[in-house]
Amino acid sequence: MSNKKFHLSEEGTDTSIELPVLSSTLGQDVIDIAKVPETGCFTFDPGFGATASCESAITFIDGGKGVLLHRGYPIEQLAAKSDFLETCYLLINGELPSASEKKAFEQTIKDHNNVESSVEQFMAGFSQGSHPMAMLCAVVAAISATYHDSTDVANADDRNLTIIRLLAKMPILAAMCHKHFSGQPYVAPNNDLSYSENFLNMMFGEPGKEPNISPVLAKAMDLIFLLHADHEQNASTSTVRLSGSSGANPFACIAAGIAALWGPAHGGANQAVLEMLEEIGDEKNIDEFILRAKDKEDSFRLMGFGHRVYKNFDPRAKVMKETCDEVLAELGLDNEPLLKIAKRLEQIALEDEYFVEKKLYPNVDFYSGIIMKAIGISPEMFTVIFATGRTVGWISHWNEMLSNPYRIGRPRQRYTGYTKRDYPA
């Protein structure tokens, strides 16, 4: 509790309430508004831009300074020194693993590196070419049936097993979505490979053929998963928390998170960025798109720019841009036209008064699509990759909520409909 207090009083009456302030270890303290209904009013905050929905110790973002910490560790340091599974362990458990803990964690994931044969039958119900996010959302919800009766969300061991199952199975399901979308045969998981090598092999390998994974691409894939791992109370994480607050099956909650992530304003932006760059087509067309992005009458937005929280560079975008340069150079694609358009677009946008005044900087989605395209991932799969990386964040928040006292989430509203009226006689 902070020593600060706020008083809410109504002009002209003696209605007044005291609102305690709860201190945070970093960032803004919070005003506890539980007593506000005593005034006869609700607070009103569409889009929750000024609302802290929960307590969390997992990730901290300082949007003004472009800071992102996972359990206190800066994302730049994790990107440089850690790997995706170690970061998963950190997000879930709160501390980095020892060497033996990391080895055991990796093996536990491998021990669950499979999906039931019924999943193939389920996937066969989708026509080839169905959007991979539609398939991923549905198939994750479907496997809730496999684990429903054996999962007690109030039991910590069941929750931990759920976390392992999801981390192990998401890459398999994601790769199956790619294979079904492109009409290719599935490739089985291979426990001789690392997490990201195994994913790339299931994506681009062929049944019965020896894996042949570029270490550079495997490292880039691992970094893409790491950079997407968690991001505080974003729309999809809040969706997982809200659905989990009713005690719903965790696989169903993750499916809800996948659905929320799909939108172009959120995780669907990476596919939209690539489509935008391809639509721009040439640097000479950039000015026209900048004008459209600034035109209030035009719904077009510069995809990959802007963020509800970051009013500075998204630190993930900086790391992603460096990786983009490395991967394209390694692949001999450093003259990739889309990269040149992206860099020119970023340079112009960052000098343009509209973007400067509104503090619109490149976000995590701006460069990720270019890397994924260079790796050979189709744009329809970009958000599936995002979801595969973000699963650890979603399930860590779910577990954090269920490991502490919680109530079902139930926002109220500002009602603007009819007053009571009688049905015509």
Q: Scanning the structure block, which residue is given the tokens 């650890």? A: 392
Structure tokens at 125: 């119900």
Q: Name the DSSP letter for residue 62.
A: E
Q: What is the DSSP string of 242-305?
A: HHHTTT--HHHHHHHHHHHHTSTTTTTHHHHHHHHHHHH-SGGGHHHHHHHHH-TT-----TTB
Binding mask 242-271 for ligand SDX (x = CB under 6 A): -----------------------xxx-x--
CB-based contact 55:303 (threshold 8 Å): no
Closest CA to 387 of 265, 279, 260: 260
| Binding piece for ligand SDX, criterion CB under 6 A, among 137-145, 202-210, 245-253, 363-371 | 363-371
Is 301 a residue that touches ligand SDX (CB under 6 A)? yes
- By the rule CB under 6 A, 311 interacts with ligand SDX: no
Catalytic residue (one of 180, 228, 307, 397): 307
Q: How far apart are CA 261 and CA 259, in angstroms?
A: 6
CB 267 within 8 A of CB 387: yes
Does position 304 interact with ligand SDX (CB under 6 A)? The reply is yes
Of 32, 62, 112, 266, catalytic: 266
- Secondary structure letter of residue 37 according to DSSP: G
Stretch that binds ligand SDX, among 12-20, 296-304, 335-343, 412-420 (CB under 6 A): 296-304
Contact between 274 and ligand SDX by CB under 6 A: the answer reads no
Q: Of the two residues 113 and 236, which places its CB atom closer to ligand SDX in the complex?
A: 236
Residue with tokens 């990786």: 323
Q: Give the shortest CB-338-to-ligand SDX separation in angstroms.
A: 16
**One of 228, 314, 365, 397 is an active-site residue; which one?**
365
The two tokens of residue 43 are 């607070």
Active site includes 131?
Answer: no
Q: Which part of the chain contacts ligand SDX (CB under 6 A), choosing from 123-131, 202-210, 248-256, 307-315?
A: 307-315
Query: Which range of residues in 148-156, 240-248, 336-344, 362-370 is near ligand SDX by CB under 6 A?
Result: 362-370
Nearest residue by C-beta to ligand SDX? 306
- Residue 191's CB is within 10 A of a number of other CB atoms, namely 13
302's tokens: 């510069």
Residue 234 is a binding residue for ligand SDX (CB under 6 A): yes
CB under 8 Å to 190, separation ≥6 — which residues?
A: 198, 201, 202, 211
Binding to ligand SDX by residue 360, rule CB under 6 A?
A: yes
Q: Residue 227 or residue 375: which is nearer to ligand SDX going by CB?
A: 227
Residues designated catalytic: 266, 307, 365
Q: Which residues bind ligand SDX (CB under 6 A)?
A: 231, 234, 265-267, 269, 293, 301-309, 358, 360, 363-365
